Amino acid sequence: MPSAHLRVALVGNPNTGKSTLFNALSGLRQHVGNYPGVTVEMKKGRFSFHGIDFTLIDLPGTYSLAPRSPDEMVAVDLLLGRRAEEAAPDLILAVIDASNVDRHLYLTTQLMELGLPMVVAVTMTDTAAAQGIVLDCEKLAAALGVPVVPVQASRGVGMDALRSALCHGGKVPTPPPFPDAVAGELDALAAACPLVPRFLVQRLLFDVGGHIETWLTQTQAPTLPAQLAAARQRLAAAGCAVSGVEARTRYGWIRTATAGAVTKPTTRLTTRTDRIDRVLTHKVWGTLAFLAVMFLVFQSIFVWAKPFMDAIDAGRGWVGDLLTAHTAAGPLRSLLVDGVLKGVGGVLVFLPQILILFAFIAVLEDCGYMARAAFLMDKVMSRCGLNGKSFIPLLSSVACAVPAILSTRVIENRRDRLATIMVAPLMSCSARLPVYALFIGSFLRDGYPWWLSGLTLFGMYLIGFLVAPLVALLLKRTLLRGETPLFVMELPAYKMPTLKTVLFRVYDAGSAFVRRAGSIILASMVVIWASLYFPYVDASGASYPDRIEALEADDAPEGSAAEAARLQGEWKRNSYLGRVGRGLEPAVAPLGWDWKIGVAALASFPAREVMVGTFGILYDVGEVDAKEVGNADDPKAAGLKATLQKEWADDPIRGKYGVSVALSVMVFFALCCQCASTLAVIRRETRSWAWPAFTFTYMTLLAYLGGFVTFQLGRVLTDALGG
Amino acid sequence: MLFPLDMMRSGEVAEVAEISGDPGWVGRLAELGLRAGCRLKVLQPGSPCLLEVADCKLCLRGGDACQILVRPVS
């Protein structure tokens, strides 16, 4: 009788339907486990069957147990019980794809070396049948020496047989025997590395330049590298060079094992996947189809998310009114309404876009299209030192950098992934649009050709499209320099996406964002609120909020609304942030800015959407809703434009060079990293403060430089044309 | 007669004779089923190219594909 609790590790190649199997086994009883120091997340699920409680650990999809990075080492360590937070599994559930058994058994033969009992689940039996492949699971089980269960997880076929096989605890298989020369060298190396499991010693011998070699040569006796090199040399001389002996031995063994169990048609049948791929990987049709898919994705992000975002904003307004009605005026109310509520709203408002983008990504990935997109885009992306998989995150960044950065997880190469994360925030996201709309509407519309405003807006987006690849190239040549990663990618067979997989993926992305990025956004919004709120008394000791409230009362005399707005402005000017802004004026003067633009830009660092609202406060027209900027009927937005035009006209610099200043502000916003959420997500994804700090620094410097060049060029041009 | 893989044309079938280059890469390709002795079909030449290897589709870049020497099968 097995113990009443079994820990099962689920291992298999990517695209084997492993996630579908995991979801089918554990249902809703699942959560994500993080591992310190690495970007790996593993899902854990629970289920019970015949009185036995199972804990299922879903290891990331992998083609082998030869770790190349600390991330890949986590899976190996976990299987060996070498991670403190996770006990070794009692049982391995290996997943193989019926349509390509030989390839998938390669990993299975490596798992056999672990000495743990094993059960093999065969997925994609329907795809295999369509290709004319016949699999005899009983014969395969006899050859492998472990139970083999065919399943169709999406339809629930074979699930009870699989659960029951797990209840019986599986069997410990005998791994394929290696040539005697290899076994001898392994014994000698194992003696040189005491306390290291034999499985890892084997990897040390086979994986030239792998993670284990790096790690053990640093931690073991200094003679190890020489000993290892000598062992590999002796094996090469004996005709068992480590470069080929593992593949030869394993595939040779697999050929014998599957000989009677798998029957393939002599000529390969043309599958549905082949027919679809004739169009979707075609240079012309495939590219057109890709562009159409991308258009659909982004159109949906913008259009479908809008009602939800509006609803969240409305909800925030409603709660704000409720709070205002039920609390006394003063710092507490202001903290709740302008600090906490704005912070929470600022977090939640991104959520619809994130969920929609991730639903698309999950569907595209689950059906197998994502690999085709990466294949089509690889040529373009390789020119700037990235690979095909960077394309979708970069394009998603036009909507919002936060989901884009989360979606870089599909990029396996660490340097490519970091480079993609670093440049993604340069793409003009939807939050920059209100800023562009305000300045283009105020300074580049009246009295200019009709096409100029559209062209300017296009130019702002173009900045991102041009600068991001350049920065990526620069990073890949300097900070993230290294050998060009060898790009090899599997294009899996197409399949119907399963609803469960998509829903779990969307849920994971949403909750990860709300929990982890949320706290940082909220905190920074509160800090900005406080530095704009305090001190809240004027020179005579009277409180600004009290004076404003008196002016806003229903029985206040005519014209008091304007006076209230003026008081708001005076209050913000004298606040801590206002004082800092005025102190900063010499620094922003070369960009053609006054202290108001400086303060608005400064206040926008936690979230650039704040810019338009802060501008409204500073220019004494009260708060302007960022979404109403394009709306000429909104009195406050129209008022802000008029006030901006009038104030700037009265100013010697901004009067003469208004357009240059407006462009300088827009270029600054196009390039600047004014988004605490983005930085929080970068911190989360890179597990380091260094990368968000670097992103913030380089983007801010770039933005300052961009603003400076724009204004100075504009000034010279204006002088030349005017004079 | 051996050819580098990137010289093969669309639809041609070949047997892999030798894969050179970084041992880590050679190992990685073996995991994916692309190894000396296996048969492949070029579905789409160029960079990246699209290959059919043992019932699955792999894509490689042209520069990497030239490290793979193949013997065409008629």
What residues form DSSP beta bridges with A8? A56, A91
Residue pair A680/A521 in contact (Cβ under 8 Å)? The answer is yes
Among residues A101, A97, A99, A124, which one has the least CA distance to residue A258?
A101
Element of type H or E holding A276:
helix A272-280
Q: Is the pLDDT of residue A710 over 90?
A: yes
Residue with tokens 């885009």: A377
Minimal-distance CA residue of chain B relative to A14: B32
Report the alpha-carbon distance of residue A656 to residue A679 in Å, rounded. 37
Q: What is the 3-state secondary structure (H, E, C) of A514-582?
A: HHHHHHHHHHHHHHHHHHHHCCCECCCCCEHHHHHHHHHCCCCCCCHHHHHHHHHHHHHHHCHHHHHHH
- Say if residue A37's pLDDT is above 60: no
SS3 assignment, position A719: helix
pLDDT recorded at residue A366: 86
Report how many Cβ contacts below 8 Å link chain A to chain B: 107
Q: Could you read off the pLDDT of A222-268 as tens digits, one per residue? A: 889 999 999 999 999 998 888 788 988 999 999 999 988 998 888 77
pLDDT at B24: 79
CB-CB: which of B21, B31, B61 is closest to A382? B61
Q: What's the rounded mean pLDDT across residues A646-672?
A: 86
Summarize the confidence of residues A424-433 as an average pLDDT: 85
Q: Which of A11, A488, A489 to mutate to test the interface with B (most CBs of B within 10 A)?
A: A488
* Chain A interface includes B62 (CB < 8 A): no
Determine the length of chain B.
Answer: 74
Here the tokens at position A257 are 């094992």
Mean pLDDT along residues A159-183: 93
Q: Does domain A5-167 have CATH number 3.30.1010.10?
A: no
The Cα of A252 is separated from the nearest Cα of chain B by a number of Å equal to 11
Decide if A502 contacts A365 (C-beta within 8 A): no
Helix (H) / strand (E) containing A282: none
Report residue A116 as tokens: 């743990």
CB A663 within 8 A of CB A418: no
**Neighboring chain B residues of A382 at a CB cutoff of 8 Å:** 47, 61
Structural contact between residues A391 and A416, judged by C-beta atoms closer than 8 angstroms: no
Top pLDDT among A345 and A520 is at: A345
A265/chain B closest Cα distance in angstroms:
11
- Would you call A244 and B57 a contact, using CB atoms and an 8 Å cutoff? no
SS3 B55: coil
Give the C-alpha distances (Å, rounded to integers) separating B7 from A58, A210, A379, A498, B10.
41, 31, 18, 40, 10
Q: Region A99-124: what's the mean pLDDT?
A: 93
Chain length of chain A? 723
Structural domains in chain B, CATH included, are 3-73 (2.30.30.90)
Nearest chain A Cα distance for residue B24, angstroms: 6
Rounded to whole angstroms, the Cα distance separating A606 from A530 reads 13
Residue B36 DSSP label = T
Share of chain A above pLDDT 90, in %: 31
- One-character DSSP codes across A207-269: STT-HHHHHHHHHS-TTHHHHHHHHHHHHHHTT--HHHHHHHHHHHHHHHHHTTTEE--SSPP
Kindly report whether the peptide bond that precedes residue A67 is cis, defined as omega within 30 degrees of 0.
Answer: no
The pTM score is: 0.78
Residue B9 in 3-state DSSP? coil
The pLDDT assigned to A1 comes to 46
Write out the two tokens for A88: 């070794």
Whether B55 sits inside 8 A of A100 (CB atoms) is yes
When pLDDT is averaged across residues A385-392 and rounded to a whole number, the result is 83
pLDDT of the residue at A719: 87
Chain A residue numbers with beta carbons less than 8 Å from the beta carbon of B29 are 488
Which candidate from A99, A103, A208 shows the least CB-CB separation from B32? A103
Q: Do B32 and A100 touch (CB under 8 A)?
A: no
User: Per mean pLDDT, which of A168-182, A326-340, A574-588 is the most reliable?
Assistant: A168-182
The domain ranges of chain A are: 5-167, 180-239, 285-431, 506-638+675-704
Instruction: Give the list of residues 6+ apart from residue A6 with CB closer than 8 angstroms, or none.
Output: A52, A53, A54, A55, A90, A91, A166, A169
Are the CB atoms for A4 and A51 separated by under 8 Å? Answer: yes
Most confident of A13-17, A137-141, A574-578: A137-141
The vertex-A649 CA angle with A648 and A651, nearest 5°, equals 65
Partner-chain contact B27 A388, CB within 8 Å: no
Q: Which of A198-202, A501-505, A539-543 has the least mean pLDDT?
A: A539-543
Contacts with A138 (C-beta within 8 Å, 6 or more apart), sequence order: A148
DSSP, collapsed to helix, strand or coil, labels residue A35 as coil
State the DSSP H helix or E strand holding residue A405, giving kind and residue range, or none if neither: helix A401-406
CA distance B29 to chain A (A): 8
Q: How many CA atoms lie within 13 A of B53 on its CB side?
A: 26
Q: Which residues pair with A262 in a beta bridge?
A: A135
First to last CA, chain A: 96
Task: Return the structure tokens found at A115.
Answer: 């000495």
B74 reaches A (C-beta below 8 A): no
Q: Which helix (H) or strand (E) holds A399?
A: none
Q: What is the pLDDT of residue B15?
A: 93
B16-46 pLDDT tens trace: 998 888 887 888 888 888 988 899 999 998 8
Q: How far is CA A387 from the centre of its chain?
A: 16
Nearest residue to A660 (alpha-carbon basis) of A622, A619, A703, A710: A710
**Cα–Cα distance for residue pair A607/A400, rounded to 1 Å:** 12
- A489 contacts in chain B (CB < 8 Å): 58-59
Between the alpha carbon of residue A604 and those of residues A524, A612, A645, A654, B33, the distances in Å are: 11, 9, 21, 21, 52
Residue A89 and residue A79 in contact, taking contact as beta carbons nearer than 8 Å: yes
The whole-chain average pLDDT of chain A stands at 84
Query: B60-72: per-residue pLDDT in tens?
Result: 988 888 889 999 8
Which residues of chain B does A369 touch, with a Cβ-Cβ cutoff of 8 Å?
none
Run of H or E residues at A48: strand A41-49
